[in-house]
Amino acid sequence: MDLDGEDVAPADSADLVRRYPDLAAGIFVFDVWTFNCDRHEENLVAHERLGLWAIDHEHAFGALRNADPAKAMGDALTYHVFRDLDLDQARLHEWGERIRGLPQTAITRTVYEGYERRLYKAPVREALHTFLLHRRADIHRLVTRSRPTARPLTDGQVPPDAGRGQQ
């Protein structure tokens, strides 16, 4: 990707968090809310003049591909480009509050607009609406659960990533 002849290839994720701490926290919280399990450096664009942009949301709402998306409403992210980096807790909280403060009517309008544009059928529309409302109310807990913990596991505990993403 280039902009006016300038290369805007993905930068190092730690550098992005350092240069754009507020936007990095916002992208992380947004991806937790939408359950976007595929945020990596190649779908972030950083540009000195334009800032940091998240592109390619193709894997958002991955839970809606399940037979029963309600079962995934409380799922935490196990992968994200910023997950293991030092995101500012106050900024994470602020972005969580922004999502919690979204009026239900705004979420409903957005979901219905996608339906009217024929991006999905009515059953997905309803599941998506329910999914976003549920995760909006639970955003702070979901963000916390999506971050790695420094606490050692006790006997019998399984790491949250165990069995996922392994080939």
Return the pLDDT at 57: 87
User: Considering the domain boundaries, does residue 156 fall inside one?
Assistant: no
User: Considering the domain boundaries, does residue 72 fall inside one?
Assistant: no
Tens of each residue's pLDDT in the chain, 167 residues: 455 655 555 678 999 999 999 999 999 999 999 999 889 988 898 887 888 989 988 888 875 665 566 677 888 999 999 999 999 999 999 999 999 999 999 999 999 999 999 988 898 899 899 999 999 999 999 999 999 874 444 555 444 433 333 33
Instruction: Quote the CA–CA distance of 22 and 18 in Å, as a whole number.
Output: 9
User: Considering the domain boundaries, does residue 54 fall inside one?
Assistant: yes
83 close to 148: Cβ distance less than 8 angstroms: yes
User: Considering the domain boundaries, does residue 152 fall inside one?
Assistant: no
Question: Considering the chain, what is the average pLDDT of its residues?
Answer: 83
Question: Domain total for the chain?
Answer: 1
The CA-to-CA distance between both ends of the chain, in Å, stands at 31
Place of tokens 């779908």: 43
Q: How many CB atoms lie within 10 A of CB 132?
A: 22
User: Considering the domain boundaries, does residue 69 fall inside one?
Assistant: no
Domain that holds residue 89: 2-62+77-146
Query: Model pTM?
Result: 0.81
User: Considering the domain boundaries, does residue 157 fall inside one?
Assistant: no
Please classify residue 103 by burial: count the beta carbons closer than 10 Å to its beta carbon, then call 0-12 exposed, 13-18 middle and 19+ buried: exposed
Q: CB within 8 A of 94, min separation 6: which ones?
A: 25
User: Considering the domain boundaries, does residue 70 fall inside one?
Assistant: no
Q: How many CB atoms lie within 10 A of CB 46?
A: 19
